[in-house]
Amino acid sequence: MSDIREFIPDESAIGVRVDKFLAAQMPEFSRSEIQRFNITRTGGAPVKCAEKIRAGDVFMVAVPDAPATDTAADNISTDFDLDILFEDDDIIVINKPRGVVMYPSAGNKTGTLVQNILAHTHLSLLGGDTRPGVVHRLDKDTSGVMVFAKSDAAFRGLVKIFSEHDLTRKYVAFVWGVPNWTGADITGNIARSSRNRQKMSMVKTGGRPAHTIVNVMDVWTRVGVAALRCTLMTGRTHQIRVHLSAHGFPVLCDPVYGRGSARLGSVRNPELLEFIKTHNGQMLHAEVLEFIHPVTGAPMHFRAPLPDDMAELRCILDDTE
């Protein structure tokens, strides 16, 4: 069985690639995933993702269900205690711990965040059997605030909010380097790397537009480290990590974009050196999430404190000054 979804583009979408349009409408899926879906126009005519949208187009997208063995509900679990920031009949807001995968996949059958939430409550199945309630994502090793849809009405509303970027998302990142500015706007298209398909990179042509606003929170000049607050104006895969690394401020302990080995030789503080060498997971935390409740219309504001490891890192850095 497949989840069939209908999309009616407005005039502003005319001339846009079909997969780009659908990725904006379904932020819970990556563009590469959407390219594998069965997409037709009304009447059943197949559509290629590279086609451009025409006036009057109506698309039917068949989102395939995952195999039964991979569904989130098959292995609901209580591997860790949920840090619930808010819950009502329509949504649940969680402070996601670092090191936890979002939902089941080929390499992660159990112990995911979604499976732990399902042990506590139900989630909207509009996200599919594998990703019920999922409207946005955080990387496995990024912690912080996340919202999930419990009702179908909330799912539809949250998808619209995220696709239109009608919300506030602020992150805290500890990075290598000390900026000579207090704030910056980073823009630049992001696409999958041609050299390593597991990575994203900034590109001069193609890709998807990305915009991050960065403000300096603290600097530790002796060790060449800074704490930055990053506000997402768009929501691309690995956006903050890619933007900061491309501009010379890679996130500490980031195994993909961090370039940490090139910096270790300059670290003289033994406690800091030990932390960086032994710690797994980028020092990136989704601190703030603000949006309008998709059902009640009430303003929602959530802030998650720094996780223990980032709080420990801050203490170590303070001791270096």
Residue 87 neighbours by CB under 8 Å, 6+ apart: 93, 121
Closest CA to 185 of 258, 234, 250, 237: 234
Q: Are 7 and 22 in contact (CB under 8 A)?
A: yes
What SS3 class is residue 106?
coil
Q: Which residues pair with 245 in a beta bridge?
A: none
Using CA atoms, how far apart are residues 178 and 228, in angstroms rounded to an integer? 10
Q: Catalytic residue numbers?
A: 139
What residue type is 63 in one-letter code? V
End-to-end CA distance of the chain: 60
Q: Where are the beta strands (DSSP E) in the chain?
A: 2-7, 38-41, 59-64, 84-87, 91-96, 143-149, 168-176, 183-187, 190-192, 200-202, 211-220, 225-232, 284-292, 299-303
Distance of CA 318 to the CA centre of its chain: 29
Order of strands, sheet of 59-64, starting from the edge strand that comes earlier in the sequence: 2-7, 59-64, 38-41
Q: Are 143 and 97 in contact (CB under 8 A)?
A: yes
Q: Is the dihedral of CA 151, 152, 156, 159 positive or negative?
A: positive
